[in-house]
Amino acid sequence: MFRKILIANRGEIALRVICACKELGIRTVAVYSEADRYSLHVRFADEAVCIGPARSSESYLNVAAIISAAEITGADAIHPGYGFLAENPKFAEVCETCRLTFIGPLPESIRLMGDKNAARKRMAELGLPVLPGTEVIGTEAEALKAADQIGYPVMVKAAAGGGGRGMRIVRSPDELPSLLQTAQNEAEASFGSSNVYLEKYIASPRHIEFQVLGDSHGKVVHLGERECTIQRRHQKVLEESPSTQVGAELRREVGSKVIRALKAIGYRNAGTVEFLMDENRKLYFLEMNTRIQVEHPVTEMVTGLDLVKLQILVAAGQALPIEGDAIGLRGHAIECRICAEDAESFKPSAGKITGFHVPGGTGVRVDTAAYAESIVPPYYDSLIAKLIVHGKDREEAIERMKRALEMFIIEGISTSIPLHEKILADPDFRAGKFSTQFLNRFSPNGTGG
Tell me the catalytic residues. 291
For residue 321, the tally of other CB atoms under 10 A from its CB is 9
Amino acid at 13: I
Distance of alpha carbon 244 from alpha carbon 247, whole angstroms: 7
Distance, C-alpha 375 to centroid of its chain? 24
Please tell me whether residue 336 adopts helix, strand or coil conformation: strand
Comparing C-alpha atoms, which of 358, 300, 363, 338 is closest to residue 415? 338
**Sequence-ordered list of residues with C-beta below 8 angstroms from that of 65, at least 6 positions apart, any chain:** 31, 51, 52, 59
DSSP H helical segments within 30-156, as ranges? 40-44, 63-73, 89-97, 107-114, 116-125, 140-150
Q: Which residues pair with 219 in a beta bridge?
A: none
DSSP code for 438: G
Distance of alpha carbon 62 from alpha carbon 35, whole angstroms: 15
Amino acid at 34: E
Q: How many residues does the chain have?
A: 449
Distance of alpha carbon 77 from alpha carbon 70, whole angstroms: 8
Decide if 206 contacts 229 (C-beta within 8 A). yes
Decide if 413 contacts 353 (C-beta within 8 A). yes
Please tell me whether residue 391 adopts helix, strand or coil conformation: strand
The helix/strand count (H/E) of the chain reads as 14, 20
The torsion angles phi and psi of 299, rounded to 5 degrees, stand at: -70, -40
For residue 184, the tally of other CB atoms under 10 A from its CB is 19
Distance of alpha carbon 146 from alpha carbon 169, whole angstroms: 15
